[in-house]
């Protein structure tokens, strides 16, 4: 069997140990004599599984007692609508547009209330983030929405603005990549297919006091309070995706938890940025302070070589390096499941390619 070095931005590489475990128990899971996909989502075995996944997820992220963890449908894009429907009340919300995804969230939210920009990095090509001092956050906003890792721009920020307004964070491409302080957020959400499993399941971590304010039009499956009451089983959940996320959580715990992930991820990203900065052939446009550990973008000095780079990198076993069409160039996504060995192989290839074409 041959597996490529996979730098896909999402759906993305999964840990091999997770895939092997899923394969091994595919036909008969947990002595059920059936796969986890073929049993009731309300049965004893599946309930025990999801209780266990939530407990391990809470342990991994040190989720405080006054937060609920929901496992929902509809991806992060579903949450672009669910967040305002649940949290905006009669009021207002502010959005930080720091990249493609922040902008999409901002646009979707417009349907549900008075939505204003806290900051907008578009005129700078989403390569930097304005100082928090210059952000405008309305005191009476119901929440401030941010995107801590912009998957397309390859831009990331760790620090949070000082505000009494609850912070809502789309962590689709950064959750589980390092420790975070959940208590600093009102709500965190993430689609699983970047760093926590396969497409189809979306995790929402929400503080108690933000529940039960949903607009009356909120579809039941997007209503956090209703989903909380039903343990995220208001309708048939994405059972296999949920199970697979559980395997990923177990794997992260076994690998040493989020501290260990953070150390590894930082090392992988620094290596690649170093190789880019060292060369006059490759370039990364992002302000150094805000470079993403998860999605490393780079352009070639001569963009006419882009297709040659992609062709030769694939021949060398390095896949999915094409940058997003809105940015061009290349993007290497270095999620938890991407090994240091894969990064080394990419850097070695980049050096060879440069020697050949510089």
The catalytic position among 94, 103, 135, 194 is 194
147 binds ligand PLP (CB under 6 A): yes
Residues in contact with ligand PLP, counted by CB under 6 A, come to a total of 12
**Sole window of 70-78, 255-263, 328-336, 344-352 interacting with ligand PLP (rule: CB under 6 A):** 70-78
Pairing of strands 141-146, 92-97: parallel
Which CB, 239 or 292, lies closer to ligand PLP? 292
Spell out the residues 6+ positions from residue 343 whose beta carbon is closer than 8 angstroms to its own: 268, 271, 272, 332, 334
Strand 187-191, strand 5-6: pairing: unpaired
Confirm whether 242 is a catalytic residue.
no
**Residue whose CB is less far from ligand PLP, 76 or 234:** 76
Residue selected from 5, 10, 135, 248 as contacting ligand PLP according to rule CB under 6 A = 10
Of 281 and 292, nearer to ligand PLP (C-beta) is 292
Stretches 59-67, 74-82, 232-240, 324-332: which one binds ligand PLP (CB under 6 A)? 74-82
Dihedral sign (CA 324, 325, 326, 331) = positive
Sign of CA dihedral 346, 349, 355, 358: negative
The Cα–Cα gap between 197 and 335 comes to 11
The single residue of 29, 94, 101, 103 carrying the catalytic annotation is 101
According to CB under 6 A, which residues from 172 to 211 bind ligand PLP? 172-173, 191, 194
On the 0-12 / 13-18 / 19+ scale of CB atoms within 10 A, 347 is: middle
Window of 27-35, 124-132, 166-174, 231-239 that interacts with ligand PLP by CB under 6 A = 166-174
- 189 Cβ contact list (under 8 Å, min separation 6): 76, 79, 83, 168, 169, 170, 171, 172, 202, 203, 204, 205
To the query of whether residue 223 is one of the catalytic residues in this protein, the response is no
**How many whole angstroms from its chain centre is CA 72?**
15
The verdict on whether 135 is a catalytic residue reads no
Characterize 244-256 residue by residue with b for buried, 16 or more Cβ atoms within 10 angstroms of its Cβ, and e for exposed: bbbbbbbbbeeee
What minimum distance in Å lies between the beta carbon of 308 and ligand PLP?
Answer: 28
Of 54-62, 83-91, 167-175, 214-222, the window that binds ligand PLP (rule: CB under 6 A) is: 167-175
Compare residues 244 and 300 and give the one whose CB is closer to ligand PLP: 244
Q: Among 94, 170, 223, 250, which one carries the catalytic annotation?
A: 170
Closer of 47 and 77 to ligand PLP (Cβ): 77
Write the CA distances from 59 to 193, 241, 253, integer angstroms. 21, 20, 9
Cβ distance to ligand PLP smaller for residue 10 or 121: 10
Residues in the chain: 358
Q: Which of 35, 56, 77, 163 binds ligand PLP (CB under 6 A)?
A: 77
In the complex, the smallest distance separating the C-beta of residue 155 from ligand PLP, rounded to whole angstroms, is 11
List C-alpha distances in Å: 337 to 25, 140, 197, 291, 333.
21, 41, 10, 19, 10
Q: Residues in the site for ligand PLP, rule: CB under 6 A?
A: 10, 75-77, 101, 147, 151, 170, 172-173, 191, 194
Write out the catalytic residue numbers: 101, 170, 194
């Amino acid at each position: 069997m041959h597996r490529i070095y996979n730098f896909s931005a999402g759906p993305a590489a999964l840990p091999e140990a997770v895939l092997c475990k899923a394969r091994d128990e595919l036909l008969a899971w947990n002595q059920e004599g059936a796969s986890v996909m073929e049993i009731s989502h309300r049965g004893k075995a599946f309930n025990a599984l999801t209780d266990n996944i939530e407990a391990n997820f809470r342990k991994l992220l040190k989720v405080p007692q006054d937060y609920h963890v929901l496992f929902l449908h509809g991806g992060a894009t579903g949450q672009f609508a669910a967040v305002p429907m649940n949290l905006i009340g009669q009021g207002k919300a502010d959005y930080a547009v720091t990249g493609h995804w922040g902008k999409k969230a901002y646009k979707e939210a417009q349907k549900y209330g008075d939505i204003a920009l806290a900051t907008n990095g578009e005129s700078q090509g989403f390569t930097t983030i304005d100082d928090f001092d210059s952000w405008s956050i309305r005191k009476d906003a119901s929440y401030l929405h941010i995107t801590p890792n912009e998957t397309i721009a390859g831009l990331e920020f760790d620090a949070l603005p000082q505000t009494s307004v609850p912070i809502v964070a789309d962590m689709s491409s950064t959750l589980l990549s390092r420790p975070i302080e959940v208590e600093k957020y009102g709500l965190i959400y993430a689609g699983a297919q970047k760093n926590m499993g396969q497409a189809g399941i979306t995790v929402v971590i929400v503080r108690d006091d933000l529940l039960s304010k949903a607009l009356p039009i909120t579809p039941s499956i997007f209503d956090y309070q209703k989903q909380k009451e039903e343990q995220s089983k208001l309708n048939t959940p994405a059972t296999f995706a949920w199970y697979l996320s559980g395997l990923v959580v177990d794997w992260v715990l076994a690998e040493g938890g989020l501290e260990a992930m953070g150390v590894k991820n930082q090392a992988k990203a620094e290596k690649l940025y170093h190789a880019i900065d060292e060369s006059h052939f490759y370039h990364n446009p992002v302000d150094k302070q805000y470079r993403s550990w998860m999605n490393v973008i780079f352009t070639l000095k001569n963009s006419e070589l882009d297709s040659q780079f992609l062709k030769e990198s694939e021949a060398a076993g390095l896949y999915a390096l094409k940058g997003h069409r809105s940015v061009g160039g290349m993007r290497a996504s270095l999620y938890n499941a991407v090994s240091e060995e894969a990064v080394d192989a990419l850097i070695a290839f980049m050096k060879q390619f440069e020697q050949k074409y510089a």
